[in-house]
Amino acid sequence: MSGDIVMAAKMIGAGLAMIGALGGGIGVGLSVQGAVQGMARNPDTYGNLLSSMILGIAFSEAIAIYCLVIAFLMLFVV
């Protein structure tokens, strides 16, 4: 019985942890928006913008990934 409650709490906790992915998604969308606008205005900077964009995406995606890791830890480790 108590094990089931713990299991349920783990699941709920993992789900709650994934709320943080919201911020990461917004961040990725914003950075891609900015980069694509820049590319559209000045197509010559395509290469520079692409690498900067991937870096920025990696940074903001990291937040979502941390949430995912926490969720995994709750599901599989704790």
Partner 1 sequence: MEKAEKKWRWGFHRWIVLALIILNVVAVNLYAPVQPHIQVAAENIITEPLFTLPVIGDFYLTNSLIATILMYIVIILIALAVRNSWKKNPVAPKGIAGVFEMLVDMIYNMTETTAGKYAAKVFPWFASIVIVLLFANLMKLIPGFESIGVLRHSEHGYEIQALGNGTWSTLLNKEAHNGGYTLVPFLRGVSTDLNFTTALALIAVVMIQVIGVQANGVRYFEKFINVRNIFKKPLFGVIDFIVGLLELISEFAKILSFTFRLFGNMFSGMVLLAVVGVMIPVFLPSGLMLFEVFIGVIQALVFGMLTMVFMAQATQGHGAEEEQK
Partner 2 sequence: MEKLGFNLGFLLVQIIAFLITVVVLRAWVFIPLQGSLKKRSETIEKGLEDARIAAEARENAEKEAAEILAEAQASAAQVIRDAKEKAELAARDVKANVDAEIAKSRKDALVDIEHERERVLGEIRNNVASLAIAAAQKLVGEALDEKRQHELVAEFFSGIKDGKVSILEGSKVAGENAEVMSALPLTEDEQKIIKGEMLNRLGEKAEVAFNVDPNILGGLVVRVGDKVVDGSVAGQIQNLRSSLE
Q: Is 33 buried (19+), middle (13-18) or exposed (0-12) by CB count in 10 A? A: exposed
Pick the stretch among 7-15, 27-35, 38-46, 55-63 that binds partner 1 (CB under 8 A): 55-63
Binder among 6, 8, 22, 55 for partner 1 (CB under 8 A):
55
In the complex, least distance from residue 49 CB atom to partner 1, rounded to whole angstroms: 13
Cα–Cα distance list, 72 to 19, 38, 49, 61, 66 (Å)? 14, 37, 33, 16, 10
State the residues that interact with partner 1 by CB under 8 A. 51, 54-55, 58, 61-62, 65-66, 68-69, 72-73, 75-77
